[in-house]
């Protein structure tokens, strides 16, 4: 049975959201902030939270950031609906769907997590705690856990400036939602940049 583009897009969004929220809820209810599980030497599950944008960037207030995200998701959702109806290539549509689902995943944290979880500092969080959450609506922190220290070493002492210092590459800690956004953007830039430019010029 062949699924329509719209149904395949819905499936992408649901799969990303289910995996994203499952991993975040599992982390929140099984680990404390700073806890780490070494899967491989180059891949750790490292529990942290951030108040800002993807990969922990914090540049504007939390409430404004959450509201801004909601507006952006609405715009992306409208655009996604439009390109599905126009019959644009599925790869292009799927890339936009990944960005859309990733943005929704982090919005869920920001809007709800402060209310439905208690804090994770020296404490394994409880879902729907009796005493209430650690914050208010729209002020939740985004859960991050994917850490890839691909290079983790002490630099040789003879190296100028940084000699003897500890060096880690890649430092950012992120989540499934961040990954979906990054993959979607990467696919657009590599395979669909011309189509995206042409589509925008027709607006």
Domain-located, residue 65: yes
Domain-located, residue 3: no
Tokens of 184: 């979607």
- The most confident of 1-10, 109-118, 151-160, by mean pLDDT: 109-118
Q: Residue 80's closest CA among 104, 112, 44, 46?
A: 104
Domain-located, residue 80: yes
Range of the domain at 136: 14-201
Domain-located, residue 2: no
Q: Which residues are catalytic?
A: 144, 178
Domain-located, residue 168: yes
The pLDDT value recorded for residue 165 is 84
pLDDT classification of 153: cutoffs 50, 70, 90: confident
Number of domains the chain contains: 1
pLDDT at 56 over 60: no
**What's the first-to-final CA gap in the chain, in angstroms?**
35
Exposed e or buried b per residue across 166-202, where buried means at least 16 C-beta atoms within 10 angstroms of its C-beta: eeeeeeebbbbbbbbbbbbeebbeeebeebbeebeee
Domain-located, residue 5: no
The pLDDT value recorded for residue 200 is 57
Does the pTM surpass 0.85? The reply is yes
Decide which of 113 and 156 is more confident.
113
The pLDDT value recorded for residue 65 is 82
Beta carbons within 10 angstroms of residue 26's beta carbon: 13
Domain-located, residue 27: yes
Domain-located, residue 50: yes
């Amino acid at each position: 049975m062949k699924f329509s583009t719209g149904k395949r897009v819905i499936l992408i969004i649901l799969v990303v959201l289910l995996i994203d929220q499952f991993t975040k809820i599992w982390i929140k209810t099984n680990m404390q902030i700073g806890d780490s599980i070494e899967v491989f030497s180059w891949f750790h599950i490292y529990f942290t939270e951030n108040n800002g944008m993807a990969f922990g960037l914090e540049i504007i207030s939390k409430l404004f950031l959450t509201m801004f995200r909601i507006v952006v998701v609405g715009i992306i959702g409208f655009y996604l609906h439009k390109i599905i109806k126009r019959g644009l290539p599925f790869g292009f549509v799927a890339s936009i769907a990944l960005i859309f689902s990733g943005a929704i995943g982090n919005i869920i944290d920001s809007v709800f997590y402060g209310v439905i979880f208690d804090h994770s500092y020296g404490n394994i969080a409880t879902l729907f705690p009796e005493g209430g959450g650690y914050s208010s609506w729209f002020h939740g922190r985004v859960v991050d856990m994917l850490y890839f220290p691909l290079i983790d070493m002490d630099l040789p002492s003879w190296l100028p400036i940084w000699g003897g210092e500890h060096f880690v590459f890649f430092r950012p800690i992120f989540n499934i939602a961040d990954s979906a956004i990054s993959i979607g953007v990467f696919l657009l830039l590599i395979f669909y940049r011309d189509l995206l430019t042409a589509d925008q010029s027709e607006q």
